[in-house]
């Protein structure tokens, strides 16, 4: 059985690789490869705190790969470690289960935009991330 810290690192690497693939595809399609940066583990998080992955534009990523879910604690950590102007995102799973994502989304109700806390599948998040990458790369 993997130690919790090793399991957590493995989850971070797994998520970083999935997001990097999306980011690379967008950069190539838009001809922005020279501006593309790597999505990597935040090696300073243990010493100075902060979110788990860097290089995700405005997303402050918190990744959890644990058998016992603690959503309230994890979400609190994601929100409190998220710098102003960034978007807190919690990606989580346990062994043999697909990743899920918790984040704020905008719902349109009766012509009004409402910010809601949502739990979505990983593919839906990767689509959101792709659109975000397109927007950010278009600014360069």
Q: What proportion of the chain, given as a percentage, has pLDDT over 70?
A: 93
**pLDDT of 133 above 60:** yes
Q: Are 32 and 57 in contact (CB under 8 A)?
A: no
Q: How many domains does the chain have?
A: 1
Domain that holds residue 112: 4-138
Chain mean position to CA 48 = 19
Answer for the pair 70, 77: CB distance below 8 angstroms, yes or no.
no
Q: Is the pLDDT of residue 82 over 90?
A: yes
Pairing of strands 112-121, 100-109: antiparallel
d(CA 24, CA 47): 30
Digit-coded pLDDT (tens) for 9-47: 899 999 999 999 999 999 999 999 999 999 999 887 655
Looking at residue 41, which CATH number applies to its domain? 3.40.1350
């Amino acid at each position: 059985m993997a130690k919790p810290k090793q399991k957590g690192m493995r989850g971070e690497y797994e998520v970083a690789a999935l997001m990097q693939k999306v980011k690379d595809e967008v950069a190539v399609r838009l001809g922005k490869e020279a501006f593309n940066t790597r999505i990597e583990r935040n090696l300073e998080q243990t010493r100075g705190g902060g979110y788990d992955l860097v290089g995700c534009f405005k997303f402050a990523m918190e990744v959890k790969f644990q058998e016992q879910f603690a959503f309230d604690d994890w979400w609190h950590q994601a929100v409190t470690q998220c710098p102003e102007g960034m978007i807190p995102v919690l990606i989580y799973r346990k062994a043999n289960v697909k990743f899920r994502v918790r984040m704020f989304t905008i719902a349109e109700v009766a012509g009004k935009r409402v910010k809601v806390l949502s739990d979505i599948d990983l593919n839906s998040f990767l689509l959101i991330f792709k659109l975000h990458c397109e927007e950010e790369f278009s600014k360069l």
